[in-house]
């Protein structure tokens, strides 16, 4: 049985270096930029979309309103919902 190799293949040769994404060419960043725009927590609570917020944002809102900041994400969401009477 004969082995089939692509054109230009040299057995035992070192593979070419991997190319890095060129930022000038519009290569995508692995991390999204932080969006520091204000979030309307009340509107998101009324829409039932608080789960889309990060724990840090939920905690920050709870701290600003004097609410409990302990527990898991769901605890923070419940605290915010009760704050708005939802």
Q: Is 29 within a domain? A: no
Condensed to tens digits (0 to 9), the pLDDT of residues 56-67 reads 888 888 888 888
15's tokens: 């593979």
Q: How many domains does the chain have?
A: 1
Say whether pLDDT at 49 is over 70.
yes
Rounding to the nearest 10 degrees, give the CA dihedral for residues 20, 24, 28, 33: 120
47 located within any domain:
yes
Query: Which pLDDT belongs to residue 31?
Result: 60
pLDDT tens string 17-42 = 887 766 655 555 556 556 666 778 88
Q: 64 is in which domain, residue-wise?
A: 41-86
pTM flag (> 0.75): no
Could you give the 3-state DSSP secondary structure of residue 65?
helix
């Amino acid at each position: 049985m004969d082995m089939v190799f692509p054109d230009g293949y040299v057995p035992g040769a070192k593979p070419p270096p991997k190319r890095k994404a060129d930022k000038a060419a519009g290569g995508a960043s692995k991390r999204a930029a932080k969006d520091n725009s204000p979030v309307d927590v009340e509107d998101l609570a009324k829409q039932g979309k608080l789960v889309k917020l990060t724990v840090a944002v939920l905690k920050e809102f709870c701290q600003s309103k004097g609410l409990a900041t302990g527990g898991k994400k769901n605890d923070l969401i419940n605290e915010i919902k009760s704050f708005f009477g939802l």
